[in-house]
Amino acid sequence: MGMSVIEISPEGRGAGVHGNAVSCGRTRREGAVGACSGRKAACVSSRREMSGRRSICLVAALLLCVPGIRQGAFVLAESQRSRERADRVVARVNGRPIRWSELLLQARLQGVAESELVEAETRDRLLREAVDRALLREYLDDRRVPIPERETRLVLKTIEQRLQREGKSLEDVIGKVGLTREDAERIVGLQLRWAIAARRMIGEREIRAYWNAHRAELDGTRVRVRHIVVRVPAGGDDGRRRREDARRLLQEVRRRILAGELSFEEAARRYSDAPSKDNGGDLGFIPFRGAVLPEVARVAFRTPVGQISGPFESPVGVHLIQIVARQEGELSLEDARPEIFKRLAVAKQAELLDRLRHEAQIEILR
């Protein structure tokens, strides 16, 4: 059955049924845990301990890492009107309600100002994410995947300790968005439950296949990169035109380098907008994660030594890179196993949510 989205007017009259009318975009959680990019000795303790700490840190970050929010921006007044607003149902997923309070909490966690919730784009994004969480929770409930109590308690303890250092309590923070401790446990437990479900799906053969296909990204390999970037902001007709111009420029620069008319270093000094232009574009040796933009790292690790990439884009602008040298990594499959599992789990969740959205009955209440 295709996903049907029913938009309901404030008076309760259905505004129509649209197949696939709301594209509930997947949540990209790629890369919360860094790949082991140093030497082998720097990467290990026990894998079980690493995995547990990463799960705790990941969920704790979701609940707490919200710098820059003005104190009290999301405090719901004790008035009846505010309570009614927090309890207001904004969507239903297979008949189960999503309330305004959940969107308020996610806005707080993401550092979104309350005033921004009047913007349709921001509100719709938060709503799509809430729909995804509801679909995932229903999937896990149907399969009786339990909330891992020990891990959940550890996460909540970590959160409470941090809040205490700030002179706050967990109950105060979640109470300000109209939620209870049970709600916090449910939110914390969702991704911990998904990790349990993912372990049932991901077998040794799949892990080894991923290792073989992505070994250089995971074993500590580093590549030495020279880099040119023409900075162009994305968005709008003017941004698109400027990016097309930058792409044509770098294509011509690449042709001239390959023809021997100038060196990559000379081209970087002349055309690059990055600070590295003073060094002829030399970025030194970089790992797959953490040193440069993901778009740059992906191209760098698939470009052979001595070769120059074609022009490619990132949120910053248009890039051209040359690979000067390569240092092979020393980490093993066992060292990389937690990161491989995490990547596969993220990919499987995205695939699952794509399917669930098409099968679900989703009502968006306006």
- How far apart CA 90 and CA 224 sit, in angstroms, is 51
At 210-259, the pLDDT tens digits run 999 999 999 999 999 999 999 998 777 788 899 999 999 999 999 999 99
| Residue in 108, 87, 113 with CA at minimum distance from that of residue 98 | 87
Amino acid at position 355, single letter = R
Given a contact cutoff of 8 angstroms between Cβ atoms, the answer to whether 353 and 362 are in contact is no
Percent of the residues in the chain that have a pLDDT greater than 90, as a whole number:
54
Structure tokens at 56: 């705790």
At 16-58, the pLDDT tens digits run 333 333 333 333 333 333 333 444 444 434 444 444 555 544 4
Q: Cα–Cα distances in Å, from 272 out to 109, 241, 264, 319, 320? A: 37, 19, 11, 9, 9
Report the range of poorest mean pLDDT among 48-52, 70-74, 205-209.
70-74
What is the set of domains in the chain, with CATH numbers? 4-212+336-365 (no CATH), 222-327 (3.10.50.40)
Which burial class, exposed, middle or buried, applies to 46 when counting CB atoms under 10 A from its CB (0-12, 13-18, 19+)?
exposed
At 111-160, the pLDDT tens digits run 687 778 778 888 899 999 999 999 999 999 999 999 888 888 888 888 88
| Residue in 25, 1, 29, 14 with CA at minimum distance from that of residue 131 | 25
pLDDT exceeds cutoff 70 at 312: yes
